[in-house]
Amino acid sequence: MSTLQHYLVLAGLIVGTIGLVVTLLLLARAVGQTRAEAGKDVPFAGGTLAPKPVWVRYHVRYYGVALLFLAFDMEMAFMYPWAVVYRELGLPALLDMGVFLSVLFLGILYGWSEGALRRQ
């Protein structure tokens, strides 16, 4: 297949997907009925109304914990594919992962120095 044929196949798939989505939306609108109910717009938890307002402010100290969580999460997201290809790449892969982990470790040290790991 030539490059043009690849692009035509891709364009056909995109047009077909958009057509399917539009068809399903129109079918759902034609068959389904919507009714306005007062309880549909009220947030609830566990079948009961929420006792507090839904939009509450969180203390700024939780953002440091969230950033540390993201650092650990990204570490695991990159460690698995690295572990899969480590045997093929060898020492350069080990050095690259060492640099990556040292940058994450610096972020953890910074969070520690700012008190993000202190129990509140």
Q: Which residue has the higher pLDDT, 17 or 42?
A: 17
Q: Which residue has the higher pLDDT, 110 or 47?
A: 110
DSSP 3-state of 58: coil
**Encoding tokens for residue 60?**
């700024």
Cβ-Cβ contacts under 8 Å for 54 (sequence gap 6 or more): 43
pTM score: 0.45
Say what the pLDDT of residue 54 is. 64
Mark 79-114 as b/e (b = at least 16 C-beta within 10 Å). eeeeeeeeeeeeeeeeeebeeeeeebeebeeebeee
Say what the pLDDT of residue 32 is. 84
**pLDDT, tens digit (0-9, with 9 covering 90-100), for 52-95:** 776 777 777 777 778 788 878 878 888 888 888 888 888 888 89
